[in-house]
Structure 1
Amino acid sequence: MEDGRIKDDDITASSQWHETTGPQYARLNREDGDGAWCPEGQLDASDLQFLQVDLRRLTFLTVVASQGRYARNGIEFARAYSLNYSRDGVIWKSWKNRLGSTVMEGNKNAYAPVINDLHPPVVTRWVRLIPRTELSTVCMRVELYGCHWEDGLISYSAPEGQLMPQPGLPTAILNDSTYDGAHQKRPLSGGLGQLTDGVVGLDDFLLTRQYPAWPGYDYLGWRNISMGADQSVEMDFVFDRQRNFTSMKVHSNNMFSRGVKIFSSVSCWFKPRPSSAWEAEPVVFHTVLDDRNPSARYVTVPLERRAASALRCRFAFADTWMMFSEVSFQYAPITLSFSKFPPRSSFPLGRHLVCYLLTGAEPSASAVPDDSKAPILIGCLVTIILLLVIIIFLILWCQYVCKVLEKVSRIRSGGVLARLIAIQSTDSHEYSDPHYERVFLLDPQYQNPETLRNKLPELSQSAEASACGGGYAEPDVTQCTPHQCFHSNAPHYAETDIVRLQGVTGSNMYAVPALTVDSLTRKDISASEFPRQRLLFREKLGEGQFGEVHLCEAQGLAAFLERDAAGRDRDGRAALVAVKQLRADATSQARNDFLKEIKIMSRLNDGNIIRLLCVCVTSDPLCMVTEYMENGDLNMFLSQREMESTLTHANNIPSVSPADLLHMSAQISSGMRYLASLNFVHRDLATRNCLLDRRLTIKIADFGMSRNLYSSDYYRIQGRAVLPIRWMAWESILLGKFTTSSDVWAFGVTLWEIFTLCKEQPYSLLTDQQVIANTGEFFRNQGRQVFLYAPPLCPPSLFELMMRCWRRDIPDRPSFEGLYQALRPHVRQ
């Protein structure tokens, strides 16, 4: 609604107060007309005035947002509303939540939007929003969130689910509680429900993914003796148009210890058109029963590319009970009518078949060769050609893999991990369903840690790949060690030639093009020399591979810098500063890198980048003096707070508001935009490296790796070399490629930290080895990679922005300029 994809002609209403409060003005955050849709007159609880939206095609609707308006004559908003929907424009259904309530919470004021997740989501084309209120004037602005319903399924029919009593265990209620069709004489007909909501049941059917819910909620189940003499379950599936079906995927429970198994066989009949009869010849599929693995799984039923607008499938029991949680269909375009071909007995062969396909004319009998060995000869030629194609493909693929892994074998300690973890392939196709993946990424309800635990069952069994061996082979510890895999003369990995600024932390704050750092002299450093004796040690903040970070008082710093805003606090006392100090025993290379880092930082001037105040480089040990932020780092700040609410105010609990989080996110994007404009690459962007002052101004720094508090955020290699793998893009871990786009990936993870209030580590359920194995899935790009779940506090639009940051292909990720423009409205002036 807000961005105009829904046109004015598709928005109607039962009435309107004035022309300037018509339905076309019911767009969230828009002030067109008089600012909203207002129905005629004052409404009471019995009125059924509605705002109707035509989505033009079937849509999987997951979220609805509402907003009021502030008018000259009063504050007008809907305190509650209902939602009706229709797939055909004739039959209207009332949405109800999982507990049966049809009324959704509305607005509490005239300006703040209220977002309601639809649990369960609905498949619809038309939507009606009906204000529910006491006698008052109501105005509404709305927004709808969802995606196009590509499956095309508009209804399914099935026997109603049953109760499953179990001695000593809760009774499992296996009905379709969200079904929106008719319940006549027990069968379900004409609707959609839990079999199409995208929620896959767990291995134990008594456990559910929803809360609150009853045991068995995620499954629709039946007992064999109640299904008649043939002991089978018959289901009809009706589609919006004729489709060429390739397969059907049924997610079925297999907890055989309690008498539940996947179906033993299924027979499917096809109806080409709604008015035609069922075809006589079914597709029959027999499953391979598994009495060893009790896990629920998808069963894929091939449908032989049969064209139909409806299917009738009969599932045969393999045990006492049969339970389904999801059913989806795959199809291909109908490209050729095979009924036009000649009978199989006279089907032309070889080049005559090609002639037939091109001209449509059957060859004459005289054109058929007399040589009876012609089919054998043709078969041999085709086989030879296929073998040659396969060999060429394998050669090209091996060359590509060798080039990739040649880079991996040259990994250095400051850049990338030398030992890769290669995930083993699995026979399970449970999560390869594109319908499930769409919902998994769309609705935060399904993005939870339990989903991650089920998403990667094989990660813990991943095998380590030998970087020295140059391929995804089983490791041979006799060939090389991680220490041997790092070389001091390893090449640079960024897209341009990169100067490595090792610094005191043993890592890099910035990686910059080599052309910006030439021969270094004292005149290259624009920061002033500060008297070392004026730095009074307060405490040690941490240490890295080549130095230490101290909290110090800098006496007379403001006067030295000739501006009061340089760091003096309100009482005029000595300024608190952070001092990075190079160790006395540091190598000449480390010393040179330290000076280069000073040169780069002395030229950075942005309100959201930590500022280099002065230096001490005329004598050893070398020091750089930077700003110190009173509120510490963002990770610690957020982890000690809760989301702002009435409870936090009443109990004086430290809290932050959603507006605070968006303001912080926008500032980080602004600072990174500045670095990107200079072609600087940070390499370690995270909340631990974002510092805050009293006014919640954020400045990006690089102290995280030097603090023991965050040692668990880094993967340690052979002593002190560490890598923030949970924030790194897949190409940085596997290929050693650090660019602004890999910083964009880390920015997405940083946003995720902010909207979880830093309460947990990214991929907290995965070990470091499993995280690395997951990056291998991004490299292979087979749809098995795992993303971070959507934080409950995160708006859907912002989570979509995170997902764009984590796109597999580098060109598809947004720029920091684009990210800043998206977040800019949330910057406080």
Structure 2
Amino acid sequence: MMINIITDICVVGVCRFPLGMSGGQIQDEDISASSQWSDSTAAKYGRLDFEDGDGAWCPVITDEPDSLKEFLQIDLRSLHFITLVGTQGRHAGGIGNEFAQMYKITYSRDGSRWVPWKNRQGKEVIEGNRNAYDIVLKDLEPPIVARFVRFMPVIDHSMNVCMRVELYGCEWLDGLVSYNAPAGQLMILHDMPVYLNDSVYDGAMAYSVMTEGLGQLTDGMSGLDDFTQSHVYNVWPGYDYVGWTNESFPSGFVEIMFEFDRTRNFTTMKVHCNNMFSKWVKTFQKVVCYFRSESDWETTPISFSPVVDDVNPSARFVTVSLHNHMASAIKCQYHFADVWMMFSEITFQSDTAMYNTTLAPSKGPTRTGDNPTHKVDDSNTRILIGCLVAIIFILVAIIIIILWRQVWQKLLEKASRRMLDDELTASLSIQSETFTYNNNNHSSATSEQESNSTYERIFPLGPDYQEPSRLIRKLPEFTKASDEAGESTASAQDGVPHYAEADIVNLQGVTGGNTYAVPALTMDLLSGKDVAVEEFPRQLLTFKEKLGEGQFGEVHLCEAEGMQDFMDEDFISDISENQPMLVAVKMLRADANKNARSDFLKEIKIMSRLKDPNIIRLLAVCICSDPLCMITEYMENGDLNQFLSRHEPEGQIALLSNAPTVSCRNLHYIATQIASGMKYLSSLNFVHRDLATRNCLVGKKFTIKIADFGMSRNLYSGDYYRIQGRAVLPIRWMSWESILLGKFTTASDVWAYGVTLWETLTFCKEQPYSQLSDEQVIENTGEFFRDQKRQIYLPQPPICPDSVYKLMLSCWHRNAKERPSFQEIHRILLECQV
């Protein structure tokens, strides 16, 4: 499995997914406790928002003075980055009234060494619940990396305690289990103390050396340009950075050793450095890294010297290529370029090492004559061969059964889909219950949601991953209704090209993202033309970082030398001829099957025809030899989701926080460009199927271009509803007919555009429908189908004009024919005055 670590993956605001207590992904056997009242209050009942058994985990309370003896323990089976916890008491339908007013958390990465969690001010006790039913969510500042977590209620013997809990975060893909480094030091700056110590390090400290722990260098928070300032914590100057002065290191460098969970194939290391040279701080002058794959350190290190910047004082990530070295530990020596050197974050990009007889490096000559000859027991050999033959027959039988089930399932799916397409012109006969949250009914788009929780913007995933046809069965039954039949029949006989769902050619992108779906008629017209792009020399591509991956391929960010010679005359680029150009390279894996190769070449043919200022352009290909590659534009400011999340709207808040801003005029310009690009796609009868801010790239002067590889990035895995054994669906951006009926049309792209517009005007600070679980989002589509005015709409963003929100609501019209076309949307936005 490829592990792609970029800083934003571990940003606390993104990594907030429930890890499975409430959803059921965490199994009962992975939940244990120190004690319990009875079998009906055992550890397995300590699941947030569940009332099985007697409604919670309840420990036995003794008269012993040790109030932290009891604990509820969760085994996550692998290391996770945990940013948020939730707790609840025992309500049991009004029968129970037990809860923990305060609690502590301890954690472990190996199950033997337990570390007490402390906040950034050194406080261990967390305020818990004030009643038995409300869920209280608490941010872990700092976050923790752990496999085992214990909740320990603080018991004062004045009342019984019971707990239900949940952990929120994401899998710790970095694989880093500890780093050893010199302790950070104190700087005196204009008579002001600046403490540059690693204040959240959870390892040991001896003789000014930190060992066997993780801390601020892995907490997902990058420091500000001015190291004397901090993000949002009420802490001391220098808090975000760990820093050292060259006066304490006669060798001229600081050595840090990184230990990993297993042997990995390392490609890059990213070090976030301060460069405030006016305060005698610069990035490192040189780094020398040694690698340990087994028990010994390699004698030949790699060395890298970044360009020393005396002009721009901004903090920055320095990317160091590790040249695919195999290692379970890395020891790096960072050489000083000035008096001080300060780091706030260090991350690695790696593959998990795979060994076999053909790839394993030789450790020396094989000796065949040194071992004495042994007599072979023929009877044992026959028994062993017989067992192997039996095992082979059993495996063959299992494979046949699996293949038969898959074929049968596909036949059932086709029959189910045919029924849906031909007969589901009905309404729901049984009314489902209205969504209620925190005892408030939501009946309109402008309903406000209230909560007693301390934190509301979490992104829960549904516990069951099912296919759309199965999801429909979870809703009330479909029955025939004459008032709907006419409308549906008209839609089926409409004949409009971009509603021809039956003729859609569906290409699954090699990187995991859906490429543009194309009507078969258009595909036939394309098939007679040659690919209008040139072959590009592979050796002119320089790898920068991996952007994402899928089942059959990967997406890499590269620099291409001389790309200007391969571009069409109508392509406008502000890169001079002697400068390398930033490009995205989609690469098909060598082991891809014949269908994947065919789809890849079809995708090249499709992309070669797309020429619009707001659509990512295919620039060149590498198809004369494996691996097959297509080279597309890449915008220097990355995707729109991450770009906007780093900015704030213009106003007093932005002035106080000194955050970069985007004006309303520029937001309007962004929305207009997305509409223009989609207008072009719809004119070709292309259906995007995954329009969202993650699939829009940002260039200079707020230039926007629509792309299609957002799904391949680990960063956005939480935006997709996972269907077991099949693809994933961006349900929060999908129209109701796409979710329930499997229809993807230009009208469903218009729906997604409305959600994308909502994301843009909220600066991507939260997911759409963040207050709903995935299952509730799907249930809400049933409300759209029933059309009884009980469906929930996304609320109007604070900075959104009424006219623009009216446009959003029109994109989410229940009747697809009544939604505006992209031509109309583009015209409306051009006519709007900002």
State the TM-score, normalizing by the size of structure 2. Answer: 0.48
The TM-score, its normalising length taken from structure 1, stands at 0.48
Please identify the structure whose Cα radius of gyration is greater.
1
- Greater RCO, CA 8 A, separation 6+: 2
